[in-house]
Amino acid sequence: MVSLYPLSNSNSSARSNSSSPRTVEEIFKDYSARRVGLLRALTHDVDEFYGFCDPEKENLCLYGHPNETWEVTLPAEEVPPELPEPALGINFARDGMNRKDWLSLVAVHSDSWLLSVAFYLGARLNRNERKRLFSLINDLPTVFEVVTERKPMKDKPSVDSGSKSRGSTKRSIDGQVKSNPKLADETYEEEDDEHSETLCGSCGGNYSADEFWIGCDVCERWFHGKCVKITPAKAENIKQYKCPSCMKRGRQ
């Protein structure tokens, strides 16, 4: 399909790779390159991009390409398209909104499109591979964050992300009571690596996926269930767990 407008920083670009990415690394490379193109359109080349999005034109889309270029053009004609399509008609709202707000809106839709393309290409990945792909993607600031100059909020370490937001605050190492730790270990083979630096607040031993752990809702330290004499069954009935040290301090 011939572009309605030329690329701002390239004479031509395929809408997708000649051979689709297959591995996590290949898909992430594709994602990163498309992201660079979109960021260039919405930051460095923003005046040129803004001019291309004439509301008097037909439904226009913003594409990021695997060669780090961008393109404003009509949507793909083939049905269904080769890849998921970006937001349609971004030009129509241009003059009816504050410029900064309009660019932010385009940025949000661009993030959604990037994710849809990545997970379309990753449809045949297994669960752990999808998790790794999203982890790589999540380490990068979103297009929206870059365009609006917002700093990404840092998450707390995963071992601290218990069920504080849930009605019950009892927690195990993965945020819920483990009634079957072996099953959880099989589901996420990487769990040992994830929590390998977690130490028991009682005995100082390392985390093991084969053992039940529980987190104190006061000091947020983690303990072997056996060290604090708490079983998975007993933990089910604890609304807020306090470790022996915190219980002792509470009495003083």
Give the tens place of pLDDT for each residue, 49-58: 999 999 999 9
Question: Residue 194's pLDDT is what?
Answer: 52
- Pull the structure tokens for residue 152: 């990404």
Separation of alpha carbons 224 and 200, rounded Å: 6
More confident residue, 45 or 186: 45
To which residue do tokens 């309605």 refer? 4
pLDDT (tens digit per residue) in 164-180: 333 333 445 444 444 44
Separation of alpha carbons 88 and 60, rounded Å: 6
Over residues 134-161, mean pLDDT? 75
**pLDDT category of residue 130 using cuts at 50, 70 and 90:** very high
**Is residue 89 predicted with pLDDT exceeding 50?**
yes
Question: Residue 218's pLDDT is what?
Answer: 86
* Percent of the chain residues past pLDDT 70, beyond the cut: 73
CA torsion angle 155 159 163 164 (round to 10): -60
**How far is CA 91 from each of CA 87, 94, 110, 114, rounded to the nearest angstrom?**
10, 5, 14, 19
One-letter-per-residue 3-state SS of 158-171: HHHCCCCCCCCCCE
Over residues 9-21, mean pLDDT? 51
Q: Is 194 exposed, middle or buried (0-12, 13-18, 19+ CB in 10 A)?
A: middle
Question: Residue 152's pLDDT is what?
Answer: 60
pLDDT (tens digit per residue) in 216-247: 888 888 888 889 999 888 888 888 888 988 88
Cβ 35 vs Cβ 27: under 8 Å: no
Listed in order, strand segments (DSSP E) in the chain are: 61-64, 70-73, 213-215, 222-224
